A and B are shown apart, each in its own frame.
Chain A
Amino acid sequence: MKWDEFFVTGDPLIYGADVSIALTLIGVIFVLTYFKKWKWLWTEWLTTVDHKKLGIMYVMAAVMMLFRGGVDALLMRAQLTVPDAGFLDSTHYNEIFTTHGTIMIIFMAMPFLIGLMNVVIPLQIGARDVAYPFLNAVSFWTFFMGAMLFNISFVIGGSPSAGWTSYVPLAGLELSPSVGQNYYLLGLQIAGIGTLLTGINFLVTILKMRAPGMKLMQMPIFTWSSLITSVIIVFAFPVLTVALALMTFDRLFGSHFFTLMDGGMPMLWANLFWIWGHPEVYIVILPAFGMFSEIISTFARKTLFGYKAMVYSMVVIAGLSFLVWVHHFFTMGAGGAVNSFFSITTMLIAVPTGVKIFNWLFTLYKGRIKFTTAMLWSLAFIPNFVIGGVTGVMLAMAAADYQYHNTYFLVAHFHYVLISGTVYACFAGLHFWYPKMFNHRLNEKLGKWTFWIFVAGFNLCFFPMYFLGLAGMPRRVYTYGAADGWMSLNVLATMGGVLMGIGFLILVYNIYFSFRYSPRETTGDPWDGRTLEWATAAPVPFYNFAHVPEVKGHDAYWIAKKEGRAKEKKPYKPIHMPSNSGVPVIMSTFFFISGFGMVFSWHWMSIAGLIGVLATMVIRSFDYDKGFYVSVEEIEKHEQTTE
């Protein structure tokens, strides 16, 4: 292989990216060396098993990925603004929409939510960490290495270009011979390990680690949503793992699971993909629902209306999420009975979702609504998500779907639910729990600027797309002709996209601005919160709670505040905490090396990487470190400084 086959060449955009990646790397290495921060980086971050720090790293990585996916989106919008534009060629455009979709779902939405879950869940249930802190670090680092492996395809070897759904035969070796598709398979496979472990970890954490007195039906609603999400992850992700492995065999070792030749079954891929893929969209929406519930309840100063109905509706949604996958390909000709069945199961999801919408509205009813930035995002979610939801019901009607399928109508629908659901929730949750992560709030004024610009831009970008779909514009076309008559709506959409980009930049500036100028927290309860995370001190000590809190009902901290138990003094006891470990980051690096070798079919490299993975597992197995105890003196010292 020659060097110009290894590196992507010939495109000024890519050369620009090469230079900026190199400069950033050199800059980071220089800063770390100059300020002698290498040891700090290793002991405080790379080897940490603290759920709060892992959560912060998840969120930071997700914001980076949001930037990458957002740039992809803006490039697409630039190309589609006018007919017959020559800004991007077909191949380049195809790569960009493929990476946009994959990155936004797998490497942005999920890690953002999982990051916030990491920060919040142990605090909400009154625990000192998750059930398996070491495993949690493995989760983060495999996600991170998977994401990096996927991202370097951009400059080394070429990006995948068969869509984030990677439908075969198109994504097979015959029709996509470049290594790009291998990056997709291995990047997702490695990151998928992390997600599956997260599912197991949070399932056990929530079931076993709750503070004394917290019954299942007294858990905060975000904890409930995370529990249900974990169950979905545990059932759905193995399907993706197997499907990715089979396609990897097809592409690397000449098997014929999904090929056209020798009796392969391409349609099996579509089925497997969506048996994972549809639950996946609920994996990224249920935690969002949970966050909105917490935030709406907090800033309406009311307990959640219909708590039980909220819980049951999420359980029903989770169950139905496994029964609707065929609606992604009603047009495959499966026949009337199959399409009718999946139409109806899909429509049924609207019932529990509708219940939730009305319960949120009635949580606001008779409340005292305070329009903080976090609350604004949560409120804007309701009308926008309803638009996305009702068009979802329209798409569920198979006979009509034959006309919507593969068009911008569909694109508009899923952006309406994923952006106003998941992305709004990420922003709302970020503003809401920011004080728990960084011990200061994000600036409200800048936050509101981001909010208004982004929400206006979002609606301007995606609402016209419903009409583009009805006007017959298919998704994934890199250009269209003037005679198609799609230009005016596309111009609107691009304007909206630019506004969203500006909103994002203000958010990034806000992070910097607040870091410099925001007053530090002193109370640990900036919003007059209702759940246990607000009972922790500011900054949150690494052991979270000096005393394990006692729970007497849901909205535990609110009740404690009302009863005057919030600041009780009791004698401390030593606290058992897990030790840091360098194994997760090293193991994941070996995964990365092995994956990179497989991408290029350099088997010596992939085997070496796998041996490394195995070796780190053996080292971990013979590790008898049982953690350490925080002494009473140390706790006292901590509690005095943080009071």
Chain B
Amino acid sequence: MKRIKSMLAFVMFMSVFVLGGCSNLTVLDPKGPVAEQQANLILFSIGLMLFIVVVVFVLFTLILVKYRERKSGPDYEPPDIEGSTFLEIIWTVIPIIILIALAIPTVKTIYALEEPPEATAHKEPVVIHATSVDWKWVFSYPEEDIETVNYIHIPEDRPILFKLASADSMGSFWIPSLGGQEYTMAGMMTELYLQADEPGEYRGRNSNFTGEGFADQVFTVTAETEEDYAEWVEEAQEAPELTQEKYNELMLKGHADEMTFSSTHLEWVNHAMDAEYATKVRNGLPLDEDNSHGSHEDHEDSEDEDHDSHKGHGDHDDHSKSEDKDTHSESH
């Protein structure tokens, strides 16, 4: 009993410490409708789970206190109870009911997150291609013709459609204040809707381990009013154009400072369709001859397969495959 008391005291002491130490639970402090849906789901599930935890802990404590040997004495011979179908049905059915209560909102939210947030669905989303490269983030705004490195600006109260890809290792695009993450993969495209409800600076990062520079593969998100955003776009459009040479430098492993350009790399490569680009640049292999059309052709080739392979596109250009084989093996 003394031990149980001291354990309880310890748990209480610890929880005070823990709760004191975490006033900034980003995930439970959502700044947009996507993160909000997720935070609500999380809080709902914590509630149900706490109920289960309390039931088990109370039963556990009562049984241990009541049936410990020091209390019942060494002569007490316990009855042999084989089981109880009635009780066992109860603790099969109740968890199933709890799980149904969890599964319905889960499935609803899973599907809801595939679409832009309901409240702003009528607004045209801002499309941003986010590409992870060891160990930096490259963002392209195809409609605005802007490219940034390691930072983005977004308008508030408008859905943002992130089209995610990776130039090399698999990353995960995550802005915890605005919503959950999604993988970035080379040769695949994944899509993620996010939205900010209020102006502010939010931290974004890669959360999927990518090796040496992983811890610093971060970016900042500035959410601002439509006017401020429009102003920023105009400003950014005056930045120098992105050359392929400059872009290829970004393909090399390493970190980069924040950068702004007034054209995008989508003109010559879309990593969602070309998994090989960064590897070729790093090994000095020849890039596709007609770059501006390369990705376009790939797209047509793989169109039949769009239905079964995620939302992405595999690179199925047989020509480039056979050409590269020899040069690639030499490089090792």
Contacts and interface: CB of A to CB of B under 8 A. Distances in A.
Interface of A: 90-91, 94, 161-163, 167, 169-170, 173-176, 254, 260-263, 266-267, 300-303, 305-309, 329, 331-336, 339-340, 343-344, 347-348, 350-351, 354-355, 357-359, 361-362, 364-371, 379, 382-383, 386-387, 390-391, 393-394, 397-407, 452, 456, 459-460, 463-464, 467-472, 474-480, 485, 488-489, 492
A266 B185 contact: yes
A307 B27 contact: no
Given A262-B325, A365-B67, A383 B56 contact: yes
A452 to B, nearest CB: 8
Contacts, number: 310
Contacts of A91: 212
Contacts of B20: 488
B186 interface: yes
A406 B67 contact: no
A407 B96 CA distance: 28
Closest 8 CB pairs of A and B: A402-B180, A333-B190, A399-B109, A488-B21, A306-B83, A390-B49, A406-B207, A477-B215
B324 A403 contact: no
B116 to A, nearest CB: 15
9 contacts: A336-B110, A362-B87, A397-B102, A398-B106, A399-B38, A399-B41, A399-B180, A403-B180, A472-B203
A586 B46 CA distance: 54
A160 to B, nearest CB: 12
Interface string B99-127: 10011001101111110000000000000
A400 B42 contact: yes
Contact of B180 (A379, A391, A405, A477): A405
Nearest to A496: B14
A488 B192 CA distance: 33
B33 interface: no
A301 B179 contact: no
Contacts of B210: 170
A340 B214 CA distance: 30
Contacts of B60: 361, 382-383
Given A90-B215, A406-B207, A369 B64 contact: yes
B180 A90 contact: no
Contacts of A478: 214-215
Contact of A402 (B59, B91, B181): B181
Interface stretch (B137-145, B165-173, B231-239): B165-173
Contact of B25 (A329, A379, A470): A470
A205 to B, nearest CB: 27
A487 to B, nearest CB: 8
B25 A471 contact: yes
Contacts of A464: 18, 21
A254 B82 contact: no
B22 A262 contact: no
Contacts of B293: none
Contact of B18 (A254, A333, A334, A463): A463
A394 B42 contact: yes
A467 B16 CA distance: 13
Given A169-B168, A354-B95, A390-B49, 12 more contacts: A169-B186, A260-B168, A302-B79, A307-B82, A347-B103, A351-B96, A354-B92, A368-B78, A390-B53, A397-B45, A467-B25, A488-B22
B247 interface: no
A333 B211 contact: no
Interface stretch (B147-155, B222-230, B308-316): B308-316
Contact of B88 (A306, A467, A477): A306
Contact of A406 (B76, B109, B181, B316): B181
B95 A351 contact: yes
Contact of A492 (B17, B46, B110, B325): B17
Contacts of A254: 328-329, 332
Contacts of A332: 183, 185, 190, 310
Nearest to B41: A400
Nearest to B205: A474
B88 A309 contact: yes
B26 A174 contact: no
Contacts of B183: 329, 331-333
Contact of B168 (A175, A475, A480): A175
Nearest to B22: A467
A393 B42 CA distance: 11
A478 B210 CA distance: 12
B27 A472 contact: yes
Contact of A472 (B26, B37, B78, B314): B26
Contacts of B41: 397, 399-400
A348 B176 contact: no
A303 B168 contact: no
A191 to B, nearest CB: 23
A313 B322 CA distance: 52
Nearest to A264: B275
